């Protein structure tokens, strides 16, 4: 009974961010479906589980809430954070975790679906990908920003965009660019300047690391063997002029440490190793 009362309070809290009251039933129904013991938690099986005698009408109402109703996902995330973050313990520090999540998909009509790397499957496959920023403490984490990645092939296809309802304002951006936009938005709202964590999909981009520096954020990011990191006050020596014979100087200049997997760890400006 206590859990049910808390759920009711939580739904009432989130409903305040939906606007019109006719969306409240949709939120309650969809959230109830997500918590149901189903293997596939898409709208159709959720409708069949929740209302087996009126599957079609329940399906339509859930689909309308998810696909057509005019509510703000950003406002909804804010409401969730207002409920959860005060319960998190940041006495041991906090972190911003940047990541992307792949959702396997069939067909080609879902927005952003393309053959690309899917972390859920561990390989290239047909999927959608979303870039997220989560706020984490030692015991918990919560997503605070979430955006669907729109591949170049989608961004450049006007007919496909119009059919799927992609807003004109949405342009192509790489995943690191999306993540930086999310971090910048959080900082502009006065969010705490916690350390940023990201894997090599983001850490290999020099522009990504430099922008975190400019924002005054420490970071721990993965890089690959193609990235060379130099300690403060050091930089690669210029290659000798090519004599026209044999192979040219190795990439990165003479005297540099051979590239290898490493971490760029807990960086804080103004100590900037030169990365190439």
Q: Using an 8 Å Cβ cutoff, are 252 and 276 in contact? A: yes
55 vs 45: CA distance, rounded Å: 9
pLDDT for 238 equals: 80
pLDDT for 4 equals: 83
In degrees and rounded to multiples of 5, residue 228 shows phi and psi of -110, 130
237 vs 228: CA distance, rounded Å: 13
pLDDT for 248 equals: 56
Within a domain: 4: yes
Within a domain: 276: no
- Distance between the two ends of the chain, CA-based, in angstroms? 59
54 and 83: one domain?
Answer: no
pLDDT for 96 equals: 98
Within a domain: 49: yes
pLDDT for 262 equals: 36
Within 13 Å of residue 64, how many CA atoms lie on the same side as its CB?
11
149 vs 165: CA distance, rounded Å: 15
55 and 94: one domain?
Answer: no
* Total domains in the fold of the chain: 2
192 and 155: one domain?
Answer: yes
Residues 53-69: tens digit of each pLDDT = 999 999 999 999 988 88
Domain boundary among 51, 71, 91: 71
In degrees and rounded to multiples of 5, residue 30 shows phi and psi of -70, -40
9 vs 4: CA distance, rounded Å: 9
65 and 79: one domain?
Answer: no
Domain boundary among 71, 99, 126: 71
Within a domain: 214: yes
Distance of CA 31 to the CA centre of its chain: 21
Work out the angle between the directed axes of helices 24-34 and 2-15 (0-180°, nearest 10). 130
211 and 251: one domain?
Answer: yes
133 and 213: one domain?
Answer: yes
Q: Which strand (E) or helix (H) includes residue 187?
A: helix 175-188
152 and 49: one domain?
Answer: no
147 and 28: one domain?
Answer: no
Domain boundary among 71, 89, 118: 71
Within a domain: 274: no
Strands 195-198 and 95-104: parallel
158 vs 166: CA distance, rounded Å: 9
pLDDT for 67 equals: 85
Within a domain: 273: no
Question: Where do the H-state alpha helices sit in 51-140?
Answer: 55-63, 73-84
14 and 129: one domain?
Answer: no
By residue range, what is the domain housing residue 252? 73-267
Q: Which SS3 state, helix, strand or coil, does residue 195 take? A: strand
Q: What is the pTM of this model?
A: 0.79
| 3-state DSSP helix/strand/coil % of the chain, to nearest 5 | 35, 20, 45
Counting every residue written for the chain, the total comes to 276
102 and 14: one domain?
Answer: no
- Rg over alpha carbons for the chain, rounded to the nearest Å, is 23
Residues 172-190: tens digit of each pLDDT = 999 999 999 999 999 999 9
**Ranges of the chain with pLDDT below 70:** 1, 246-276
Within a domain: 272: no
Within a domain: 224: yes
255 and 210: one domain?
Answer: yes
């Amino acid at each position: 009974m206590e859990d049910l009362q808390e759920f009711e309070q939580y739904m009432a809290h989130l409903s305040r961010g939906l606007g019109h009251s006719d969306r409240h039933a949709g939120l309650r129904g969809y959230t109830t479906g997500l918590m149901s013991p189903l293997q596939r938690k898409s709208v159709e099986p959720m409708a069949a589980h929740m209302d087996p005698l009126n599957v079609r009408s329940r399906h339509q109402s859930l689909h309308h809430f998810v696909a057509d109703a005019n509510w703000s996902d950003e406002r909804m995330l804010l409401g969730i954070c207002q409920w959860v973050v005060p319960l998190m313990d940041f006495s041991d520090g906090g972190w911003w975790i940047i990541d992307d999540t792949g959702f396997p998909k069939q067909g080609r009509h879902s927005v952003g679906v393309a053959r690309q790397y899917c972390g859920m499957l561990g390989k290239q496959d047909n999927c959608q990908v979303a870039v997220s920023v989560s706020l984490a403490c030692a015991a918990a984490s919560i997503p605070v920003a979430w955006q669907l990645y729109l591949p170049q092939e989608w961004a450049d296809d006007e007919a496909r965009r119009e059919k799927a309802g992609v807003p004109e304002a949405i342009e192509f951006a790489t995943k690191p660019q999306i993540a930086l936009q999310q971090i910048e938005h959080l900082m502009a709202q006065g969010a705490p300047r916690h350390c940023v964590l990201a894997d090599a999909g983001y850490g290999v981009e020099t522009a990504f690391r430099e922008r975190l520096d400019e924002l005054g954020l420490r970071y721990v990011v993965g890089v690959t063997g193609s990235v060379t990191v130099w300690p403060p006050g050091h930089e690669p020596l210029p290659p000798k002029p090519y004599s026209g014979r044999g192979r040219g100087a190795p990439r990165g200049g003479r005297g540099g440490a051979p590239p290898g997997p490493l971490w760029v760890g807990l960086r804080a400006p103004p100590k900037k190793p030169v990365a190439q």
